[in-house]
Amino acid sequence: MTKAAAVIERFEQFAPQTIAEKGDPVGLQLGSLTTEIKKMMITLDVRPEVVAEAVKNKVNFIFAHHPAMFHPIKSFDLAVPQNQMYAELLKHQITVYGAHTNLDNANGGMNDWLASALNLQQTSALLPKRELPLQQLVVYVPQVAANSVRQALSAAGAGTIGEYQGCSYSTDGTGRFLPGEKTHPAIGQPLVASSVTEEKIEVIIRPNQAAKVIKALLAAHPYEEPVYYLTAIHGLNEKYGMGRVGNLPQEMTIKELAVFCKRVFNLSGVRVVAPDLHRLVKRVAILGGSGGQFYAAAVKAGADIYLTGDLSYHTAHDIYASQLAAIDLGHHVESICKPQLTKLFNTWKQENNWSFPIIQSKISTDPFQFF
């Protein structure tokens, strides 16, 4: 059986919690990461009808984009539908994990999926790029054990740079030490000064990998007291940012793009902010979820039109006045995450020999209907 912690650890190599927006309640929502997964379900939202679906399908691990618990519970009054939903989750021992703005910010995540669905080309982050902090792990190893230690570090996830895995650098040197009276040295004898040919191994790790990598290092290293240290590094750090801006393969009118969006994202309707529906557009900015406040970034990026959700009345007026056009796709457009996450998790399932089934929620959690 595979525990939820192992599945989340793999996901967070792709979208670590450290890249979530400040204050966003990502991560474990309910239950325990020691849960042995019997069946996993992927959903956009955790709503009462989704929980009922999970119970019916004997799911005991829900992976959601939107956190189930945005606000702390002040009193567990079961007359409140949200609290009753939590009670159902606990009753049926269903663990819930939420990946929100870390998935939005991740390279290859939510906003890349949306941009790809529109065939946007030459895309870049819409909002200012930030860096995912990386660290360098340095360890000194007797040369005879260097290969086994390198393999252990790689297996724990160290040495991943972009699409390259198992990256490391070594230099040879001489280690010198005097074992104390109560030591049990792997090389040499107590109270006898020794020297040994060693390798200095350097690897890159993400901060969320440190505990696992160091545990693997200590298990593989032959010394009683291995010498290692971590330092922050700059230059190799992965860049990430929310939203995307890119170019359509060919110009479209705003009306044509609105119709295209409805078809591509299977939407019942969209709201359009534009003085002229027949104006041609090519450069498109898109940000999944509620992105009205970021329209100025689309203007700055030279976009002809901005696609997002939850535009308010006054924000729409400001967009109109700025000469930028906009299409409100609705927040539910992020349901694109269900097939995309399912594809990702099935790939990792094969790589890690996970045996549990993975299903998508079939329920639409869009609260709006169009007439």
168 alpha-carbon distance from chain centroid = 25
Q: Is 331 annotated as a binding residue?
A: yes
* 341 three-class SS: helix
Q: How far apart are CA 127 and CA 57, in angstroms?
A: 39
Residue 99's identity, in one-letter code, is: A
Q: Provide the 8-state DSSP code for 272.
A: E
CB 319 within 8 A of CB 273: yes
Q: How far apart are CA 309 and CA 364, in angstroms?
A: 17
Residues 6+ apart with CB under 8 A from 274: 254, 305, 320, 325, 326
Q: Residue 171 forms beta bridges with which residues?
A: 200
* 17 three-class SS: helix
Hey, which bits of 188-266 come out as E strands?
A: 194-205, 228-233, 239-240, 244-253
Alpha helices by DSSP H, the chain? 4-14, 48-56, 81-91, 101-105, 110-117, 146-155, 210-220, 254-264, 295-300, 313-321, 337-352
Six token digits for residue 328: 């409100």
Q: Is 66 annotated as a binding residue?
A: yes
Q: Is 278 annotated as a binding residue?
A: no
Q: Provide the 8-state DSSP code for 255.
A: H
Q: How far apart are CA 326 and CA 323, in angstroms?
A: 10
Q: Is 202 annotated as a binding residue?
A: no
Burial of residue 227, with CB atoms counted within 10 A of its CB: 0-12 exposed, 13-18 middle, 19 or more buried: middle
Q: How far apart are CA 303 and CA 322, in angstroms?
A: 12
Q: How far apart are CA 234 and CA 133, in angstroms?
A: 8
Q: Is 112 annotated as a binding residue?
A: no
H or E element in which residue 283 lies: strand 280-290
Burial of residue 327, with CB atoms counted within 10 A of its CB: 0-12 exposed, 13-18 middle, 19 or more buried: buried
Question: Which residues define the annotated binding site?
Answer: 65-66, 104, 331, 334
Question: Which residues define the annotated binding site for a divalent metal cation?
Answer: 65-66, 104, 331, 334
